Amino acid sequence: MAALPSEILADILSRVPAKPLLRFKCVCKSWNSLIKSPNFIKLHLKQTLISNSDRHLLVSSEYSSSLHSADLDLNHNLISCSELHHPLKHHNAVKLVGSCNGVVCISDESKNNVVLYNPLTKSRREIPVDQISNPSNDFIVLGFGYDSKNDGYKVLRVVDESEVILYSSNNNSWKTVGSFPYYLGYRGFSGLLVNEALHFMVTK
C-alpha cells in the first residue's frame, strides 16, 4: 500500500484528540517527527478549536497544592475530572497563573518558583529565578501569555508596582520593561490574557 502524502497524513492526524495522538508517536519514526513538529502542533491546536473538542477546565485551591483538570466533551455534554501530578506538587500551595495553547503556568506561594507545564505531554520548563534582582519581595503579581509574532511564551512579573520584568521562553531569560503606572486593586489575582494582551484591574 502506497504511503499517504505528508500533507494528507498531517490533516488526518490533526483531527485526532491529544491523548491518543501522543500514543501514535510510537507507530514509526516519521509519525513521531511529524507529531512533535511545531507546524503540526499549530495545525492540531487550530483543528481542536474548530472542532470544539479536547477542552479542559483547570481548577486550583488557594490553600492547597492540588490542581484538577475537568475534561469537557462539549459535543456529548460529558465531563470527567482528574488530579494533575504537576512539578510543584511538593509545595504547600500552588497558584495557577494562566494557561495558553495547552501550556499551564503555575507558581508556588512566593511566586519565585514558576514552571511552564504541559499536562498532556508532561513536559516542563522551570523559569530561572537566579536572574531576578529581588526574588524575595513580598508583593509580586504574575501574568502569563503567548506571543504569536515571535512564537514564544511570556511571563510578566510586577514587583511592588515599581519594577516590571518580562520572561521570554525563546531565550529563557528576563528583561526589565519599566515600572507599572497604576495601583493594582486586586493583588491576589494574576493578569488575564485576552487577544494576546494581559489585563489587570487597577486604579490610578
Give pLDDT tens digits for 119-176. 877 888 999 877 676 655 567 889 999 988 888 999 998 887 678 889 999 999 999 8
Query: Which residues of the chain are modeled with pLDDT < 70?
Result: 1-2, 52-56, 62, 72-76, 78, 131, 133-138, 161, 185-187, 204
Per DSSP, the three-state class of 76 is coil
Amino acid identity of 9?
L
The answer to pTM > 0.85 is no
Alpha carbons 90 and 66: distance in angstroms, whole number = 10
Closest by Cα among 114, 53, 61 to 88: 114
Closest by Cα among 84, 131, 126, 130 to 107: 126
Instruction: Pull the grid cell for residue 64.
Output: 492547597
Q: Within 13 A of 115's CA, how many CA atoms are on the CB side?
A: 18
Residue in the block written with cell 474548530: 50
Alpha carbons 111 and 35: distance in angstroms, whole number = 33
Q: What are phi and psi of 178, to 5 degrees?
A: 120, -160
Helical axes 29-36 vs 38-51, angle rounded to 10°:
70
Helical axes 29-36 vs 6-13, angle rounded to 10°:
70
pLDDT of residue 131: 67
- Whether the CB-CB separation of 93 and 65 falls below 8 Å is answered with yes
pLDDT of residue 72: 66
Tallying the residues shown for the chain, one arrives at 204
Closest by Cα among 196, 195, 128 to 165: 128
Alpha carbons 111 and 116: distance in angstroms, whole number = 13
Q: What are phi and psi of 139, to 5 degrees?
A: -105, 110
Q: What are phi and psi of 26, to 5 degrees?
A: -85, -5
